[in-house]
Amino acid sequence: MDTSRLTRIDETSWQIEPSGAMRVPGIIYGDETLIRAMDDKVAEQTANVASLPGIVKGAYVMPDAHWGYGFPIGGVAAFDPNEGGVVSAGGVGFDVSCGVRTLLTGLTVPEVRRVQERLADALMSSIPAGVGSHSGITLQGREMDAMLRGGAAWAVEKGWGGAEDLARIEERGRMEGADPDCVSERAKKRQRREMGTLGSGNHYLEVQAVETLYDPDTAAVLGLAEGDVVVTIHCGSRGLGHQIGTEFLRDMLPAAAEAGIHLPDRELACAPIHSPIGERYLGAMRSAINCALANRQILGEFAREVFARFFPDHPLDLLYDVSHNTCKVETHTVDGRPRRLFVHRKGATRAFGPAHADLPEALRGVGQPVLIGGSMGTGSHILVGTGAGDKAFSSACHGAGRAMSRRAALKRWRGRQVVDELAERGILIRSPSMRGVAEEAPGAYKDVDQVVIAAERAGLARRVAHLRPLICVKG
C-alpha cells in the first residue's frame, strides 16, 4: 500500500482522511511493514465503506487485512439505523459466521506424540472434510428450521455436547432474531446434508501444543498451561451461508438504488436497516449464524468422540467459540453516549474487554478470548480483548491474513511437498485435496506473529498464548 495516501497517527494506526463521498475517516491498524505489504485495493475499499449512509466514527481495518468482496477482509464498520444506517451482505461476507472454537484436552504433548499417527488417521476418518463432504446427518423441513433458530443450543438438545458448552459460545450458542422463513429453499437444500462438515479452503481441525505463554495468570483462567494440547476447529455456515450471501447481494443492488443510496462499488450492495429487505437479510443472516454455531458444535462433538477412543479419561472442555463474519447489534459509547449500532465484522473477531456483561462469568475478569487461526505450519495465537477505548468497536484481527492469492500459491507449491516438509517438523497433515493443501501453504500467509504483535500494540487485544500445530485435518 502506498503510505503517502495515509496519515500516520502512531506506531500502529494509520488514517485515510475523509475526502469525496467519505462520511468518516478510514483507520488501518498495522506496523509499517504490514501496511506496505497490503494491497492498495484495501485502502480503496476502506474509503468506499466510509462513504456508506449511517456509518459511525470510522471504517476500521485490522492488521491481517487483505482485499475482499466489497469490504476488505479484516474490515469493521458500525451503522446507526436512526441515521439512515445500512446493512450490507458484502460487509458480512459469503461464509456467514465462519469462526473458530478451541477445546482443552488436559493432555500433554508426549501423551499425544505416542499416538500421533493413529490419532491423525482417526480424526481424518471421522471429520468430514473437503468439497461436497457429508456427515450422515440429514436435515429438512421443521428440523432444518429448528436448527436455524436454535444454533448450538439445538445441537446440544440433539445430543451433540452438553449444556455447559453454551456458556462458552458467543450469544450463548443461539443468535436471537433468526428467521428461517427468510432463508430460501435453495439455501436450505444446499445445507441438507452438510451439518457436521468442515468444508474446504482455509477450514481445518488442528491438534495444537501450547508452546509459549505471554501471560501465565490469564492463561490459567483460560485453562491453558505450557505443554498442554488443545484442539481448534475453523469452519462456518457452509453452503447455506454462501447461498444467503449470493442471493442478498443480488437483491440488495436494486434495493440500494430504490433507497437513493449511491454505491461506489457494486460489491457493497446494501439496504437500509429499517427496510423490508434489510430486515429479511438480518433474519436470514442470523439463521446462518446459528447454522455455523450448530455446525462447530457438532464437529466439536465428533472430535470428542475420537479423543475418547485414545484417552477415555480426558473429556474435551470448550474454551471458547468466536465468529468472524457477522453483523451484530451492540451498544458502544460514541462521543460520550451509549448507542445501539449494527456492527459489521468481516474477517474480524469481536474482542470485548474485561467486565463486559456479555461474557461468561468465568471469563469476565480477563476479557473475551480472541482465537487467531494459523496456517498449518505457522502456529496460532490466543489473545483476550482489552476494551481499551472501545477501539474499532471492540474488534481484533482473526488470523494471519493471506499474503498471496490461491492461484499464486498453486504456482509456487505442490501439496505433497508441503505435507512432507511439515511432517519433517513433526506436523501431520491429513486432507482429501493436495491442491487445497498447496493453496493454503504456510508461506501463502502473512507472519501471524507480526500480525498479533501489531494488534497488541494497537490496543485491540493482548497476547496470552502461542500454539504450535501437531496434527491438521485440512478441508
The phi, psi pair for 268, rounded to 5°, reads: -95, 25
223 within 8 A of 236, measured Cβ to Cβ = no
321 within 8 A of 170, measured Cβ to Cβ = yes
- pTM score, whole prediction: 0.96
Active centre residues (catalytic): 398
> Coil, strand, or helix at residue 184?
coil
163 within 8 A of 156, measured Cβ to Cβ = yes
What b-and-e string marks burial along 387-405, b requiring 16 or more CB atoms within 10 Å of the CB? beeebbbbbbbbbbbbbee
Q: Which residues pair with 187 in a beta bridge?
A: none
Outline where DSSP puts E strands in 347-412: 349-350, 369-372, 380-385, 395-396
Q: What is the pLDDT of residue 376?
A: 87
- Number of structural domains the chain divides into: 1
* Pairwise CA distance, residues 318 & 38, whole Å: 34
Cell of 303: 472430535
Domain with 152 in it: what CATH number? 3.90.1860.10
Q: Which of 145, 393, 180, 166 is nearest to 282 (CA)?
A: 180
142 within 8 A of 188, measured Cβ to Cβ = no
357 within 8 A of 330, measured Cβ to Cβ = no
8 within 8 A of 41, measured Cβ to Cβ = no
DSSP 265: S
Q: What is the pLDDT of residue 83?
A: 96
* Pairwise CA distance, residues 119 & 122, whole Å: 5
* Pairwise CA distance, residues 250 & 266, whole Å: 10
Strands 317-323 and 395-396: unpaired
DSSP 83: G
Q: Which residues contribute to the annotated binding site for GMP?
A: 202-206, 324-325, 373-376, 380, 398-401, 474
* Pairwise CA distance, residues 179 & 169, whole Å: 20
* Pairwise CA distance, residues 448 & 9, whole Å: 23
Cell of 18: 475523509
- Residues sharing a CB contact under 8 Å with residue 352, sequence separation 6 or more, in sequence order: 358, 359, 367, 368, 385, 387, 394
Rg (CA), the chain: 21
Q: What is the pLDDT of residue 406?
A: 92
**How far, rounded to the nearest angstrom, does the alpha carbon of residue 403 sit from its chain's CA centroid?**
18
Structural element, H or E, at residue 264: none
Q: In tens digits, what is the pLDDT along the chain, a chain of 475 residues?
A: 999 989 999 999 999 999 999 999 999 999 999 999 999 999 999 999 999 999 999 999 999 999 999 999 999 999 999 999 999 999 999 999 999 999 999 999 999 999 999 999 999 999 999 887 888 899 999 999 999 999 999 999 999 999 999 999 999 999 999 999 999 999 999 999 999 999 988 899 999 999 999 999 999 999 999 999 999 999 999 999 999 999 999 999 999 999 999 999 999 999 999 999 999 999 999 999 999 999 999 999 999 999 999 999 999 999 999 999 999 999 999 999 999 999 999 999 999 999 999 999 999 999 999 999 888 888 999 999 998 888 999 999 999 888 899 999 999 999 999 999 999 999 999 999 999 999 999 999 999 999 999 999 999 999 999 999 999 999 8
Q: How many residues does the chain have?
A: 475
Q: Which of 151, 135, 242, 154 is nearest to 190 (CA)?
A: 242
Outline where DSSP puts E strands in 67-126: 73-79, 86-88, 99-108
First to last CA, the chain: 31
DSSP 262: P
**Which stretches within 201-262 are classed as H helix?**
216-222, 238-258
Q: Which residues contribute to the annotated binding site?
A: 95, 202-206, 234, 324-325, 373-376, 380, 398-401, 474
223 within 8 A of 360, measured Cβ to Cβ = no
- Give the range of the structural domain holding residue 41, as residue numbers without chain letter: 3-474
